[in-house]
With several copies, the nearest count.
Chain A
Amino acid sequence: MSDLLKDPLILRQIIMDHYEYPRNHHLVEDETYHKAHMASESCIDDITVMAKIENNVIQDVCFDGIACTISTASTSIMSELLIGKTLEEATEIISEYYKMVELLPYDEEMLQEAVAFHQVGKQANRIKCATIGFKAIETCIKEHKHDQ
């Protein structure tokens, strides 16, 4: 992993790929999904994330909306990263991700492709973009727990 981290070309490739071909890029008409519309904080990015959580496991994540490269790519990566994870695992991954964007020590293994954003914290004004999807899934998880 560490080698990969050192090669911006590969990291850029990951982001480009997720921006141009975002994964899980759709919404579903399904009441059993939780939904978070990240709209009431900023007037630029407008992303909706949906998540199906069952038996303590994130069964599915999907999203849609208008966003910049970093928002789109990071949300796409988040969706791949969290599908199939238990809520505890997911919470830990999210927390490691936040550490990374804050430029604190973090667990590379856990974050997989998301390490593409390991330097985003140096562009403080893009942190919002790189975390919007993670904020959204947090909201879904919170809502799920609240419903239990």
Chain B
Amino acid sequence: MFEVGKIRQDFPFLMKAEQADPQLVYLDNAATTLKPQSVIDAVVRYYTESSVNIHRGDYALSYEVSNAYEGVRKTVAKFIQCEPNEVVFTSGASAALNLVAYGYAEKVLKQEDVILMSEAEHASNVLPWFRVAEKTGAKIEYLPLDEEGVLTLEGFKEALHDKVKIVTLAHISNVLGAVVPIKEITALTHQKGAIIVVDGAQSVPHTKTFVKDWDVDFLAFAGHKMLSPTGVGVLYGKFELLQQMDPFLLGGGSNARFDKNGHVVLKNPPFKFEAGTPAIEGVLGLDAAICYIEALGFEAIEQHELELKHYTVEKLKQFKHIKLYNEKSQSGIIAFNVIGIPTQDVAAYLSSLGVMVRAGNHCAKLLSEIIHTQETVRASINFYNTKAEMDIFIDALKDITLEKCIDLIF
């Protein structure tokens, strides 16, 4: 049984939030998530008990911490179903996407090659590819999306052609929560000899990931969106692709040796990509985060999140002053506008009632042409949210007016 009341007790933030006046309702989980006590404990344990640097076994403690760190690679590998040496730790999802764009795409793409993406991508999965295009002369093409930002297999087939060398897509969009059929799209991509990069920032935390079964080539995600500390992300890459790939960050830890004349011997993947001291406690925290999520199980997580989403959507649909953008999407993201009130004012008003949501374009700045609005308000659900919290959110929206929003500044 999924007991959300019990789960919430693991999150110190939520325990305080419930006592606050007004009660705080955190619905910005697509931006980042709250941390359970077990993750906090893992971080504090590093500071108080280990605290040393990794990747060297010169003394016992360093060896232990290095082992613990490498152990997390195994945890992540099991979590997304790949091999440990295919897991590259980065400073976040953005860094992971930059690494694959710079280290792989910039190396292999040529003039006239095509990078295929959607207009719903997050800036972190757009701008690195713009640079690749600029540097290599490759072209960017966009996939057709329907008015809920959904990519259909038919649409994908039509857009795919022989010059496409890289397809890059968020598995779940951070604005509209649209879920992409990754396995089918990967198969189609491979049929054309192209490779696929998946931005899993919004999917890995909420649904089971099977990189091997799906056969995706690269997958990026961020720890902080799945209960872990900030400062840590992951790039999964097929080992043979990682071998071909250049590092993005250069420095200590990524090389075995070098000489005066510029000859450098890099380590094997994944180490050649991990220059510099990484976010050690971040990685150890990620381990605790994954354990937490796996103990709950994705089946229960998804069911709970979708139930809350549908419950909320059904209520909001009844408000004439609310426009919903993604009624049908199968994830915990609710994108809407209050007619006649700018998003920032809506968010500020909700904040005055304790409800935390995000306003604006959510770093997906190409999407406006699809959904015919520059900005949306986004409420994003995590497994620790409750129906009672959604009710506070719904009630707050019920009688929102422009006047009330403006009155906040008096």
Contacts and interface: CB of A to CB of B under 8 A. Distances in A.
A49 interface: no
Nearest to A121: B409
Nearest to A42: B256
B268 A41 contact: yes
A70 B268 CA distance: 23
24 contacts: A8-B407, A12-B403, A15-B406, A40-B266, A42-B267, A43-B257, A43-B360, A44-B343, A44-B344, A44-B359, A44-B360, A44-B361, A44-B375, A46-B257, A66-B374, A66-B375, A68-B342, A68-B344, A69-B342, A69-B402, A69-B406, A70-B409, A125-B60, A125-B348
Interface in B363-410: 363, 365, 374-375, 402-403, 405-410
B136 interface: no
Contacts of A39: 256-257, 265
B57 interface: yes
Given A42-B267, A43-B365, A122-B409, 13 more contacts: A12-B407, A16-B406, A43-B363, A44-B360, A45-B344, A69-B341, A69-B342, A69-B345, A70-B345, A124-B63, A126-B409, A128-B57, A130-B409
B360 A123 contact: no
Interface magnitude class on chain A: 20 to 34
A16 B256 contact: no
B387 to A, nearest CB: 29
B63 A69 contact: no
Contacts of B403: 12, 16
Nearest to A12: B406
B23 interface: no
Chain A binding site: helix, strand, loop or mixed by DSSP? helix
Contacts, number: 86
Chain B binding site: helix, strand, loop or mixed by DSSP? mixed
A40 B256 contact: yes
A110 interface: no
User: Closest 6 A-B residue pairs measured CB to CB?
Assistant: A125-B57, A125-B63, A68-B344, A68-B342, A8-B410, A39-B256
Interface of A: 8, 11-12, 15-16, 19, 39-46, 66-70, 72, 117, 119-120, 122-126, 128-130
A43 to B, nearest CB: 5
Given A12-B410, A46-B257, A40 B360 contact: no
Contacts of B152: none
A122 B344 CA distance: 17
A120 B405 CA distance: 12
A41 B345 contact: no
